[in-house]
Amino acid sequence: MTDLADLTIAQATAGLRSGEFTAIDLLDAVERRAAVTEAHLHAYLTLDREGARSAALAADEAITSGDRRPLLGIPIAVKDNMVTKGVETTAGSQILAGWKPPYSGTAVLRLEEAGAVIVGKTNLDEFAMGSSTENSAYGPTRNPWNTDTVPGGSSGGSAAVVAVGSALGAFGSDTGGSIRQPASLTGTVGAKPTYGLVSRYGLIAFASSLDQIGPIARTVPDAAMLLEAVTGWDPLDATSYHGDVPAISRSLDTGVAGIRVGVVSELTGEGIDPEVLAATTAAVGRLADAGAEIVELSLPAIEYALSAYYLIAPAECSANLARFDGVRYGLRVDGSTTEEMMARTRAEGFGPEVTRRILLGTYALSAGYYDAFYGQAQRVRTLLRRDFAAAYERVDVLVSPTSPTTAFEIGSKTTDPLTMYLADICTIATNLAGDPAISVPVGLDAGGLPIGFQIMAPALGEEVMFQVAAEVERRAGFDTRPRLATSEVVAP
Amino acid sequence: MPVEIDIARVAHLARIALTDEELAAYAAQLENILEHAERVQALPTEGVEPTSHPLPVVNAFRPDEVTGSLDRDDALAGAPEVENGYFRVPRILDES
Amino acid sequence: MTEWEAVIGLETHVELQTKSKMFCGCPVDFGDEPNTAVCPVCLAMPGALPVPNEQAIEGILSIGDALDCTLTERSLFYRKNYFYPDLPKNYQISQYTFPLCVDGRLDVDVDGEPTTVGITRVHMEEDTGKSTHLGESGRIHGAENTLLDFNRAGVPLVEVVSEPDIRSPEQARAYGVELQRIVRVLGVSDARLEEGSMRFDANISVRPVGTTELGTRTEVKNVNSLRSLQRTIAYEIERQIEILEAGGSIHQETRHWDEAKGVTRSGRTKEESEDYRYFQDPDLLPLSIDDAWRARVAARRPELPAGKRDRYAGLGADRRTAELLVDAGDLAGLFEDAVAEGADPRNVGIWLTGEVVRYLRSESVDVAETGLTAASLVELAAMVGDADLSATAAKDVLAAVLAGEGEPRDVAEARDLLQISDASAIEAEVAAVLDQHPEALEKIRSGDAKPIGFLVGQVMRATGGRADPRMVQDLIRRTASG
């Protein structure tokens, strides 16, 4: 009998509806898995046992009375930069240690309305700034495939719990690749939707024009279901998309015959690990076999995407993080004047990466430098969007590796920030463009570490994106699980 | 082209109290990152409009309705220091 | 000796009286209890986002329209970044380049001298919270702690920036008064200076008459009364002239007005070293005002004070009367109705601006609570016109009508105030007085006009003030020459 923690959401829903097991059974299984794996992984920052239990009990009642909401009773985890009422929310930072919000974000409320059972809050790089979860003030999360390596970041915790079964699905946030890259490094499916499709109200802001909440799951259909539960206009978010939500899961079984697939030449050459490249090429080949038309394309502005991102994101975050000042919530370090109190609080409360980005952003916006740095980066962004628009005249989707490497060793990229920033080269462009993208696991490298394949689509093109992703998944035959994801592993 | 940053002023604008050592370290890192980021200057962007919003949408408003506030207890619950319903902070050095 | 000219620009902040705040659904009309009208958005909690209040936007567009501004096609919200404990996000959502309204004008009048003050821009922003200070003196310096109340944080704030076209403290005051009137008649704010729903920042510099270069300016912030506005500008002009004439130079800085001592004091120059790092707020979408919207704004424009003034002048009101009527809608109604029924606008104007206002003030009532109606004014005006009442008697009658004693004719009769203008009655009285003072008559006949006044007075005494003095005077002259 399969351990319930190893079910997909689709399988779990079927089992719940047929009465094979209850939501409490599911929650128990997931909590048992967490009990065993957490000592190895440190993926959760908070487990809301009480909240999860009452949600599961309520779900069971609803299921009995015929309620067919798609996420009813499904245990999921939520990244700790998503505000949850009454449940500690830290954004992975000391500056919010112990903070219990008086409200929940819209995505969280929608998940609760969909009947999901929120198991707990997952670890992340502090304020979502990082690509390895090593920047968490509460210690790193480890990759279940090899616990000496990183799970990626910043949504490393969410990716790890899904990989290992201590949640059946999870949500993270993606500003420069923070859902997709950890999904790639942990062999899970991670999607960033079109900018504006999921409300940012309740997402602790990093870079407002880039941030989006998205799902991490074990399969493409699971990810689609999770995403559908949270999309839609929110009056509390002025940047949320007002129009009709795309039919995200409609074409999952359609296949790719006649679909035009563009391979981004800038992302499939120098700078990409050879094994990753090989796996990418193989995945493209399988799409061709399935009837897709393959085209090689150049997006010249992508060369500058990383530079533009590292001016825009810090600039926006420098203002977004100004509210953390010890006045109304969170950490306070005393000072004899308010100014001293603020400066000391922020110095002690923020880690080095966050401090670095705030300083960088403050500088890029300061008098005399705005136009050369921030202003110029915004113009580069326009050029990038033009490149994408031109590409989508010729193809339906674009593909590339999700990450230039597989999971790297903890501590191996932390000496020089620039090295870490390069981890984002494949994912950043879609955040700047505001377009959707998804990572699907397609194989393992020689070291047994997962490789992710990225599919990008035009804005509001989730349907074709998931359509291609589903085909990639079907043909990749990737059904390995990390060793930790078994009931045989013993707690230390 | 090396970039020179008045890091003390930047740290003051950002209200982060750093030691001289830390300031020097950050300055070096920032200069490094900026040299890399300066590459954006190489791209010709004359006549190109900046993008600040991915979606070409305008005019998102809310109707003028009172939709409710937090209970004061909830509003003050996370506060480091409160007094008689106020948030309390140390004296303010400057008055604008 | 140099002749100096003052160059003054005003920045006016107006709190809009919408129901809810600028970017969240907390109420704008809050009570006295601190922090009872706050939410995650206006407290700047992590994850909270701003969404603009549509009615606030309509309000600022109405102000811009009333000031003859262009309502721009594309407008943006910006973040103005600085740290201060009453500013929860440590940035203020405001506007920078691309404000909502630009290039307007406001015509003001000082004692009949008109000036046009250009309006550079009108833009939208949000108000801050309030800080109060604990400490012995109660003043911010020396206080041990500061207490913060965020009820006001996020209230919609409109900033009106004038060109430096104002040349005197009196013009500044007139500008302030007119702007206050406009905002009130639009119904977007009660614009009460003493309550802080309207505040002025004044930029003041001087230069030798005939030069065009601007002198160094100082700024006085948060002036909260029209009287202070006038006084602080007057003081600052004097202060600057004194310094310049002594060979010194003006230090560009923010100064504070000390109402008690009547001086401005140097404030800290912290403002000048601040770098606001303006950038477009990525949480908010651009604003786009199209022709249809502009038309809607123009269509709802009410009659503005200038229009009212013109209309009252057209009805025959003099400047002083028109000025009063612009601010007193109920009196304006009486004026319009009375004049429409044929009353002499000059007299009605004199009565309204004189006796009526005096009465209303001393009794602390509104005109609706008195006995005065448009019909009363018409009747009174007719009686004066027909010489049934002297000007003096009319005032007494008016006071009585206000007090509710009845209609003018009834009151005049009851009080025996009707002017005697019956020719034969007056002839008799004049003859009687002339009999009593033959020497006076002789003097007049010999060319001395002085005794006429005395004789008129005698007749008035004899008739209890009711004789028509013009008729009396006429008769005396005729008798003397005839």
Q: Is residue A54 among the annotated active site residues?
A: no
Instruction: Average the pLDDT over C90-112 and give the result.
Output: 95
Query: How far is it, in rounded angstroms, from Cα C245 to Cα C208?
Result: 11
Q: Which residues of B touch C132 (CB under 8 A)?
A: 86
Across chain C, mean pLDDT equals 91
Of A136, A154, A173, A240, the catalytic one is: A154
Pairwise CB contact (< 8 Å): B78 & A343? no
**How buried is residue C69: exposed, middle or buried, by Cβ count under 10 Å (0-12/13-18/19+)?**
buried
Interface of C with A (CB under 8 A): 40, 43-52, 79, 81, 83, 85, 88-91, 146, 148, 150, 275, 277-279, 282-285
Residue that the structure tokens 């039919």 belong to:
A247
**Residue C391 has what pLDDT?**
84
Pairwise CB contact (< 8 Å): C88 & A89? no
Pairwise CB contact (< 8 Å): C282 & A237? no
Residue B33 CA, distance from chain mean position: 19
Dihedral class, residue A139 (left if φ above 0, else alpha if ψ from -120 to 50, else beta): left
Query: How far is it, in rounded angstroms, from Cα C198 to Cα C192?
Result: 6
Shortest distance between the Cα of B1 and any Cα of chain C, in A, equals 24
Q: What single string gives the DSSP state of each residue in A56-108?
A: HHHHHHHHHTT---TTTT-EEEEETTB-BTTB---TT-GGGTT---SS--HHH
Within a 13 Å sphere around the CA of A437, how many CA atoms are in the beta-carbon half?
Answer: 35
Cis before residue A154, ω within 30 degrees of 0? yes
Interface test with B, best of A104, A233, A310, A328 (most B CBs within 10 A): A328
**Residue C470 has what pLDDT?**
83
Tokens standing for residue A339: 């100014």
The answer to whether the CB of A142 falls within 8 A of the CB of A151 is: yes
Sign of dihedral through CA atoms A323, A326, A328, A331? positive
Q: Which of residues 13-32 of C touch B (CB under 8 A)?
A: 18-20, 24-27
**How buried is residue C158: exposed, middle or buried, by Cβ count under 10 Å (0-12/13-18/19+)?**
buried
Q: Which residues of C touch A235 (CB under 8 A)?
A: 51
Tokens standing for residue A300: 């010249």
Query: How far is it, in rounded angstroms, from Cα C191 to Cα A146?
Result: 67
Pairwise CB contact (< 8 Å): C43 & B64? no
Higher local confidence (pLDDT), A281 or C474: A281
- Of the candidates A306, A336, A381, the beta carbon closest to that of B90 is on A336
Q: What is the distance in angstroms between the CA of the first residue and the CA of the last residue of chain A?
A: 25
Q: Is residue A178 among the annotated active site residues?
A: yes
CB-based contacts of C248, cutoff 8 Å, min separation 6: none
Q: Which residues of B touch A347 (CB under 8 A)?
A: 16-18
**Residue C136 has what pLDDT?**
47
Pairwise CB contact (< 8 Å): B18 & A328? no
Pairwise CB contact (< 8 Å): C147 & B91? no
Q: What single string gives the DSSP state of each residue in A78-89?
A: EETTB-BTTB--
pLDDT tier at C460, thresholds 50, 70, 90: confident
Interface test with C, best of B86, B88, B89, B94 (most C CBs within 10 A): B86
CATH hierarchy code of domain C423-481 = 1.10.10.410
Shortest distance between the Cα of B19 and any Cα of chain C, in A, equals 20
Q: Which residues of C touch A370 (CB under 8 A)?
A: 277-279
Query: How far is it, in rounded angstroms, from Cα B89 to Cα C12?
Result: 30
Give CA separation, C463 vs C250, C433, C470, in Å: 69, 11, 14
**Residue C169 has what pLDDT?**
97
Query: How far is it, in rounded angstroms, from Cα C446 to Cα C8?
Result: 62
Q: What is the pLDDT of residues B24-45, one digit of tens each?
A: 999 999 998 888 888 888 788 8
Pairwise CB contact (< 8 Å): B79 & A329? yes
Q: Does B4 touch chain A (CB under 8 A)?
A: no
Angle made by CA atoms A179, A181, A187, in degrees to the nearest 5: 95
Residue that the structure tokens 């505000």 belong to:
A83
**Nearest residue in chain C measured CA to CA from A374:** C279
Q: Does C477 touch chain B (CB under 8 A)?
A: no
Q: Is the pLDDT of residue C138 over 60?
A: no
Instruction: Average the pLDDT over C395-414 and give the result.
Output: 90
Instruction: Report the 10 Å Cβ neighbour count for C414.
Output: 12
Q: What is the pLDDT of residues A163-221, one digit of tens each?
A: 999 999 999 999 999 999 999 999 999 999 999 999 999 999 999 999 999 999 999 99
The answer to whether the CB of A152 falls within 8 A of the CB of A182 is: yes
List the strands of the sheet with C78-81, edge to edge: C91-94, C78-81, C279-280
**Residue B43 has what pLDDT?**
81
Mean pLDDT by groups of 10 residues along chain A of 492 residues: 92 96 98 96 98 98 95 98 98 98 98 98 98 97 97 98 98 98 98 98 97 98 98 97 95 97 94 96 98 96 90 96 98 96 98 97 88 88 93 98 97 84 91 97 97 98 98 94 73 56
Pairwise CB contact (< 8 Å): C47 & A201? yes
Interface test with B, best of C19, C20, C90, C269 (most B CBs within 10 A): C20
Shortest distance between the Cα of A246 and any Cα of chain B, in A, equals 15
**Residue C392 has what pLDDT?**
83
Instruction: Average the pLDDT over C97-117 and give the result.
Output: 94
Angle made by CA atoms A381, A384, A385, in degrees to the nearest 5: 90
Q: Which of C47, C148, B29 is nearest to A324 (CA)?
A: C47
Pairwise CB contact (< 8 Å): B62 & C133? no
Query: How far is it, in rounded angstroms, from Cα C58 to Cα C337?
Result: 33
pLDDT tier at B1, thresholds 50, 70, 90: very low
Q: Is residue A121 among the annotated active site residues?
A: no
Pairwise CB contact (< 8 Å): B92 & C85? yes
**Residue B96 has what pLDDT?**
38
Query: How far is it, in rounded angstroms, from Cα A191 to Cα C446?
Result: 115
Residue that the structure tokens 């370290």 belong to:
B25
Pairwise CB contact (< 8 Å): B89 & C145? yes
Pairwise CB contact (< 8 Å): B15 & A239? no
Pairwise CB contact (< 8 Å): C148 & B86? yes
Q: Is the pLDDT of residue C140 over 70?
A: no
Query: How far is it, in rounded angstroms, from Cα A283 to Cα A450?
Result: 14
Q: Does A243 touch chain C (CB under 8 A)?
A: no
Q: Which residues of C touch B83 (CB under 8 A)?
A: 145, 147
The pLDDT > 90 percentage for chain C reads 67
Shortest distance between the Cα of C254 and any Cα of chain B, in A, equals 9
Interface test with A, best of C23, C39, C49 (most A CBs within 10 A): C49
Pairwise CB contact (< 8 Å): C55 & B86? no
- Of the candidates B15, B66, B90, the beta carbon closest to that of C27 is on B66
Q: Which residues of A touch B34 (CB under 8 A)?
A: 360, 363, 373
Q: Does B54 touch chain A (CB under 8 A)?
A: yes
pTM to 2 decimal places: 0.91
Domains of chain C: which residue ranges? 4-298, 305-414, 423-481
Q: Which residues of A touch B33 (CB under 8 A)?
A: 310, 356, 360, 417-418, 421
**Residue B94 has what pLDDT?**
59
